[in-house]
């Protein structure tokens, strides 16, 4: 048995442990176990600094989960968009492929609480029909292995899946969605990396939510993947008490770049039964997005999205930088709230725009330029 598998075995899991270690009322612990089991491996547990801290909130069951009565359990309509078991096909050219129900931790905010951890709801019996679906649908060029956490599979099992996918000619890229580098970095071994790199291009998207998750171990895991030629991205969810603070998110994004992880998505939390206590306002999300763009490396700025309820997919949100736009110009503000005008040229999509070599500038712009002195941007030498 590998070290990481032992660590899964040593996880805090039972009702008795929840009562003893975290002072949870026994009845609540039983109900919580029934609703969405706990699994806190010794590594992630060791990151907790005090009760209720950002690490604790992500992994320790809380009775507020049970107080969330009439919320949806499948907000993204993944079931309705599942043509065969284990596949969600929402976008034209890519598909989500659930390969296991198991995770190295059960995150209290998980949006798939309804099925994650349940062998019957994400069953290995569905793998064959899923492969057949992927074979038949030649429009699918991008397959995302998810679950559960695909790195809960053994190397051998994962390799079987990768071999089978690589036999399908129209599948160009394979992605792994895994929290293992964050919550159990011991899973990222040389053996695993050497196996994965035989099936390139393979991308990994992981899920850091807080700077304290960036440790020596998780840094090493991400660097090992990067060294194996795997581009590693990060998907973060904005959560109350965890990272609903621009300074925390900026620090996390900068730390991720240092360990060669590229911030990819930043999500508003999904409406999910038992996880709504984590949700924040859209204003908070926009504030965080605004605190990144321009204020730090563009590489540190993820796409800020809402995964639309009802299965609409990821929809980008931007703070409002456009103050005005017409055929002739667009008026923008920058990250420091300075205002700039940009000439809108004519082409097939904008026949009335400013024309190349046009003698006279359009009236509006000219008038404005005469009236008010537009500040000239000086580029200082550095
Ligand atoms: C997020 C997601 C994808 C991948 O979306 P990208 O924007 O390509 O990263 C694919 N399928 C489903 C169902 C998803 O939720
Ligand atoms: S690792 Fe992902 S799928 Fe598993 S519990 Fe956490 S959020 Fe859910």
CATH number of residue 214's parent domain = 3.20.20.70
- Our answer on whether the CB atom of 110 is closer than 6 Å to any ligand 2 atom is yes
Mean per-residue pLDDT over the chain, rounded: 92
Tell whether 99 is covered by a domain.
yes
pLDDT at 379: 46
Q: Average pLDDT of 210-227? A: 98
Tell whether 40 is covered by a domain.
no
Check pLDDT > 70 for residue 360: no
pLDDT bin (cut points 50, 70, 90) of residue 74 is confident
Distance of CA 90 from the midpoint of ligand 1 (Å): 8
pLDDT at 65: 94
In terms of residue numbers, what domain contains 363?
320-382
Tell whether 42 is covered by a domain.
no
- Our answer on whether the CB atom of 239 is closer than 6 Å to any ligand 2 atom is no
pLDDT bin (cut points 50, 70, 90) of residue 363 is low
pLDDT bin (cut points 50, 70, 90) of residue 358 is confident
- Our answer on whether the CB atom of 179 is closer than 6 Å to any ligand 2 atom is yes
pLDDT bin (cut points 50, 70, 90) of residue 72 is confident
Q: Do residues 101 and 127 lie in contact, with contact meaning Cβ atoms separated by under 8 Å?
A: no
Higher pLDDT, 76 or 376: 76
Please identify, among 287, 316, 345, the residue that sits at the C-terminal boundary of a domain: 316
Q: Does residue 251 share a domain with residue 108?
A: yes
Check pLDDT > 50 for residue 175: yes
Tell whether 46 is covered by a domain.
no
Number of domains in the chain: 2
Cα separation, 208 vs 354, in Å, equals 46
Q: Does residue 290 share a domain with residue 211?
A: yes
Cα separation, 268 vs 278, in Å, equals 10
Q: Does residue 290 share a domain with residue 248?
A: yes
Tell whether 72 is covered by a domain.
no
pLDDT at 370: 46
Tell whether 366 is covered by a domain.
yes
pLDDT at 153: 97
Range in 66-70, 102-106, 236-240 with the lowest mean pLDDT: 66-70
Please identify, among 300, 316, 332, the residue that sits at the C-terminal boundary of a domain: 316
> What DSSP state is assigned to residue 144?
E
Q: Does residue 273 share a domain with residue 291?
A: yes
Q: Does residue 215 share a domain with residue 161?
A: yes
Catalytic (active site) residue 94 = yes
pLDDT bin (cut points 50, 70, 90) of residue 299 is very high
Q: Does residue 366 share a domain with residue 261?
A: no
Ligand 2 atom having least distance to the Cα of 148: 3
Q: Does residue 91 share a domain with residue 156?
A: yes
Q: Do residues 149 and 178 lie in contact, with contact meaning Cβ atoms separated by under 8 Å?
A: yes
> What DSSP state is assigned to residue 277?
G
pLDDT bin (cut points 50, 70, 90) of residue 177 is very high
Distance of CA 94 from the midpoint of ligand 1 (Å): 7
Q: Does residue 171 share a domain with residue 152?
A: yes
Q: Give SS3 for 194.
A: helix
Tell whether 47 is covered by a domain.
no
Q: Does residue 326 share a domain with residue 306?
A: no
pLDDT at 380: 42
Catalytic (active site) residue 222 = no
231, with CB counted inside 10 A (0-12, 13-18, 19+), is middle
Pocket of ligand 1 (CB under 6 A): 88, 90-91, 94, 96, 144, 314
* Residue tagged active-site, from 74, 149, 244, 270: 270
Q: Does residue 146 share a domain with residue 113?
A: yes
The pairing of strands 142-146 and 94-98 is: parallel
Q: Which of 77, 84, 90 for a ligand 1 pocket mutation test, highest count of atoms within 8 Å of Cβ?
A: 90
Q: Does residue 273 share a domain with residue 158?
A: yes
Ligand nearest to the CA of 41: 2
Please identify, among 316, 342, 363, the residue that sits at the C-terminal boundary of a domain: 316
Token digits of residue 54: 């950002």
CA nearest ligand 2 atom 7, residue: 110
Q: Average pLDDT of 267-277? A: 93
Catalytic (active site) residue 367 = no
Q: Do residues 117 and 167 lie in contact, with contact meaning Cβ atoms separated by under 8 Å?
A: no
Rounded to two decimals, the pTM is 0.92
Cα separation, 146 vs 176, in Å, equals 6
Distance of CA 146 from the midpoint of ligand 1 (Å): 11
Q: Average pLDDT of 222-241? A: 98
pLDDT at 361: 62
- Our answer on whether the CB atom of 106 is closer than 6 Å to any ligand 2 atom is yes
Higher pLDDT, 356 or 365: 356
Ligand nearest to the CA of 141: 1
Tell whether 144 is covered by a domain.
yes
Catalytic (active site) residue 118 = no
Distance of CA 102 from the midpoint of ligand 2 (Å): 9
Q: Average pLDDT of 114-130? A: 88
Q: Does residue 223 share a domain with residue 346?
A: no
Distance of CA 268 from the midpoint of ligand 1 (Å): 15
Residue 201 preceded by cis peptide, ω within 30: yes
Ligand 2 atom having least distance to the Cα of 116: 3
pLDDT at 367: 46
């Amino acid at each position: 048995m590998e070290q990481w598998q032992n660590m899964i075995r040593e996880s805090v899991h039972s009702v008795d442990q929840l009562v003893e270690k975290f002072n949870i009322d026994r009845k609540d612990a039983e109900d919580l176990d029934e609703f969405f089991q706990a699994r806190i491996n010794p590594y992630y547990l060791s990151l907790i600094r005090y009760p209720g801290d950002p690490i604790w909130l992500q992994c320790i069951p809380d009775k507020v989960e049970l107080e969330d009565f009439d919320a949806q359990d499948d907000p993204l309509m993944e079931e309705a968009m599942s043509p065969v078991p284990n596949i969600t096909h929402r976008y034209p050219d890519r598909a989500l492929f659930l390969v296991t129900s198991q995770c190295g931790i059960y995150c209290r905010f998980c949006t798939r609480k309804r099925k994650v951890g349940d062998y019957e709801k994400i069953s290995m019996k569905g793998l064959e029909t899923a492969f057949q679906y992927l074979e038949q649908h030649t429009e699918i060029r991008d397959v995302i292995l998810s679950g559960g956490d695909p790195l809960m599979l053994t190397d051998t099992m994962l390799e079987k899946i990768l071999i089978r996918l690589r036999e399908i000619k129209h599948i160009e890229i394979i992605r792994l969605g895994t929290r293992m580098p964050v919550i159990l970095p011991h899973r990222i071994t040389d053996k695993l990396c050497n196996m994965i790199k035989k099936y390139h291009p393979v991308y990994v998207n992981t899920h850091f939510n807080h700077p304290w998750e960036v440790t020596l171990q998780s840094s090493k895991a991400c660097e090992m993947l990067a060294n194996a030629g795997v581009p590693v991205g990060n998907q973060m969810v904005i959560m109350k008490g965890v990272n609903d603070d621009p300074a925390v998110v900026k620090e996390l994004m900068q730390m991720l770049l240092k360990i060669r992880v590229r911030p990819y998505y930043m999500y508003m939390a999904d409406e999910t039964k038992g996880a709504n206590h984590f949700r924040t306002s859209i204003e908070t999300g926009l504030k965080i997005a605004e605190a990144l763009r321009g204020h730090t490396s563009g590489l540190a700025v993820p796409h800020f999205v809402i995964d639309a309820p009802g299965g609409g997919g990821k929809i980008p949100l931007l703070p409002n930088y456009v103050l005005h736009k017409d055929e002739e110009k667009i008026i923008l503000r920058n990250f420091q709230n300075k205002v700039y005008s940009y000439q809108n040229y004519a082409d097939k999509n904008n026949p009335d725009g400013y024309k190349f070599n046009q003698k006279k500038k359009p009236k509006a712009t000219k008038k404005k330029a005469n009236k008010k002195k537009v500040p000239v941007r000086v580029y200082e030498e550095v």
